[in-house]
Chain A
């Protein structure tokens, strides 16, 4: 356990389904991130939250909708996905944005392996 817990570990969903990915940390961190890891591509930053406020949306399609109800929880709501959205979705947290950039305590979860059929 890294301190960042992601559920579920694996998810298979149809293109018309709606599902949610959950990320939880009790490290006292205030910044949380969603990354997408596709085969043979660099990890792509999707969303950034700092003290529950969204600070970054890297041109992510609207079929991905993040939610951060408090500093300990981060969700990624999925609807009408495409097969090319199949990937490993990683959540990460850091004390805040600045310490994250400095690399202090940037902690990753184990990811949710998503398959869209």
Chain B
């Protein structure tokens, strides 16, 4: 069975600090997809990134970067020069390519607090 672990329940940093959110996953499939979502106080989950299991290239998007390491089954998310607006709950998720009937498997989320 698939599983996603986000060991950090809550992280609090001061604005402008860099912060890394950890995500470790388990799956038996060789083809799978990994995601990060942001959940602001308004509640909706906002899609940040999608990665397939065959693409281990790291990705950078502005202040956001993602490090995918199949050898350690990790897909970590780093925010550089954090800002107060980054405060939210961040979820890592996994999807196996079996028609999508299982939806996405989510981690418990990491509550990120950026203090001014």
Contacts and interface: CB of A to CB of B under 8 A. Distances in A.
A35 B44 contact: no
B45 interface: yes
A96 B106 CA distance: 19
B44 A111 contact: yes
Interface residues of A, number: 34
Interface in A80-117: 88, 90, 92, 94, 96-104, 106-111, 113
A55 B100 CA distance: 10
B44 A48 contact: no
Interface residues of B, number: 28
Interface in B80-116: 91, 95-109
B103 A102 contact: no
Interface string A1-31: 0101000000000000000000000000001
Given A40-B9, A42-B105, A100 B44 contact: no
Contact of A90 (B45, B50, B107): B45
Interface of B is mostly: loop
Given A42-B106, A43-B91, A109-B44, A103 B50 contact: yes
B54 to A, nearest CB: 13
Given A103-B35, A108-B44, A94 B9 contact: no
A110 B106 contact: no
Contacts of A99: 100
Contact of A48 (B46, B95, B101, B108): B101
B43 A43 contact: no
A103 B44 CA distance: 16
A15 B109 CA distance: 29
> Considering residues B4, B35, B43, B100, which has the most beta carbons from chain A within 10 angstroms of its beta carbon?
B100
Interface of B: 4, 9, 33, 35, 37, 42-47, 50, 91, 95-109
Given A2-B46, A50-B101, 4 more contacts: A41-B108, A48-B103, A99-B100, A101-B99
